[in-house]
């Protein structure tokens, strides 16, 4: 569920109060104005161009992976969510970016990248159901159940989860990725979506209470963590490197959602409207904007510190550094990349 909220009306974070000692500096060429400090000497990296290229390649692979066949309606419902114009493709892009730190042929990562998008879309379809978050829109269009009905939406989500695993097994080039690595990737994804991962976060989100940190980590951090880890596993990264990617991905996933919460709070405050009820379980409602900004800085620092451990890989780490900047500054609208 990482990067799942689109806030196109407030692309940059302008807050009237900022915690002390926060200065924002941008590494991403396409990001415009505001920032949080960074001391990396990496060359400037154009995340927008990188993301746009991968967006097109992954979308084409997804088109091929989910053809319409009997029973047509299930496949149409699956394609509706996976191929939505508002999809950001953040999990697959992060997976490929992590792979390219250690590996030299991104085609090895594409089947898993597509599988992550399928699993991500399935989780969003189920989250939006009336018995869950009861969301009317997703990715800039009516939610899956509003178009196809609750029954078909449940089936579409149920079908996408195993399709992702099947796609990894059947399409990953064996000459590029040994079977032992694939087994670790499949186990990682299964753990992420299960009762100790995203399902646990959704349960606590429904139950309520002041468990916002756990909810955010499981609902949003888990997918970022899984995406980064899978890229490293495919490329044969060492165990300590995998753990760095795990902590990095978790921090970035939660960071993105904390920023979403702050942006939504500021926009609704400006417009004099109330935010969605489910946002009442977010950081701003529980801690306030100033504390939420401090949490943002802590998460940014955590993510950056993990990447600093990959210094020997040089500019190969630049895409993942730029993810941190993008999570805060939203220098471009990813949805525009599909046009």
Q: What is the pLDDT along the chain (339 residues), one digit of tens a residue?
A: 555 444 443 444 544 333 333 333 323 333 332 333 344 445 589 999 999 999 999 999 999 999 999 999 999 999 999 999 999 999 999 999 999 999 999 999 999 999 999 999 999 999 999 999 899 999 889 999 999 999 999 999 999 999 999 999 999 999 999 999 999 999 999 999 988 778 877 787 777 655 777 777 777 789 999 999 999 999 999 999 999 999 999 999 999 989 988 988 887 766 655 544 444 467 888 888 889 999 999 999 999 999 999 999 999 999 999 999 999 988 888 777 766
Four-point Cα dihedral 256, 114, 222, 32, nearest 10 = -10
Structure tokens at 260: 């979403």
Nearest CA to 295 out of 25, 36, 7, 61 is that of: 36
| Host H or E run for residue 138 | strand 137-138
pLDDT at residue number 43: 54
Going by C-beta distance under 8 Å and a sequence separation of 6 or more, which residues neighbour residue 190?
A: 165
C-alpha dihedral sign at 319, 325, 326, 327: positive
Structure tokens at 263: 């942006």
Strand partners, 141: 138
pLDDT at residue number 13: 52
CATH class of 47-265+282-337: mainly alpha
pLDDT at residue number 270: 64
| pTM of the full structure | 0.85
| Total residue count of the chain as it appears in this document | 339
Task: Round to whole Å and give the CA distance between 338 and 6.
Answer: 14
Query: CA 183 from chain center: how many Å?
Result: 22
């Amino acid at each position: 569920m990482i990067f799942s909220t689109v806030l196109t009306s407030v692309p940059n974070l302008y807050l009237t109060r900022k915690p002390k000692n926060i200065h924002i500096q941008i590494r991403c060429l396409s990001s415009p104005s505001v920032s949080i400090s960074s001391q990396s000497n990496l060359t400037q990296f154009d995340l927008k161009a990188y993301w746009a290229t991968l967006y097109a390649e992954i979308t084409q692979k997804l088109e091929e992976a989910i053809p319409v066949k009997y029973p047509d309606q299930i496949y149409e419902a699956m394609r509706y969510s996976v191929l939505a114009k508002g999809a950001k493709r953040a999990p697959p892009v992060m997976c490929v970016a992590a792979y390219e730190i250690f590996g030299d042929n991104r085609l090895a990562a594409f089947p898993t990248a597509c599988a992550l998008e399928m699993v991500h879309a399935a989780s969003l379809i189920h989250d939006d159901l009336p018995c869950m978050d009861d969301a009317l829109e997703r990715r800039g269009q009516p939610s899956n159940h509003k178009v196809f009905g609750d029954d078909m939406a449940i089936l579409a989500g149920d079908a996408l989860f195993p399709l992702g695993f099947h796609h990894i097994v059947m399409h990953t080039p064996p000459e590029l990725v040994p079977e032992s690595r694939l087994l670790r990737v499949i186990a990682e994804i299964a753990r992420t979506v299960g009762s100790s991962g995203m399902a646990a976060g959704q349960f606590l989100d429904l139950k309520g209470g002041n468990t916002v940190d756990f909810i955010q980590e499981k609902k949003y951090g888990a997918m970022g963590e899984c995406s980064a880890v899978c890229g490293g596993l495919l490329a044969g990264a060492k165990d300590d490197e995998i753990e760095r990617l795990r902590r990095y991905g978790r921090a970035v996933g939660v960071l993105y959602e904390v920023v979403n919460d702050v942006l939504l709070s500021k926009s609704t405050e400006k417009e004099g409207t109330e935010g969605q009820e489910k946002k009442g379980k977010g950081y701003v409602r529980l801690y306030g904007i100033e504390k939420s900004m401090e949490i943002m800085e802590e998460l940014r620092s955590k993510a950056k510190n993990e990447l600093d451990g990959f210094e020997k890989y040089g500019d190969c780490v630049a895409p993942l550094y730029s993810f941190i900047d993008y999570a805060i500054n939203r220098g471009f609208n990813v949805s525009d990349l599909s046009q």
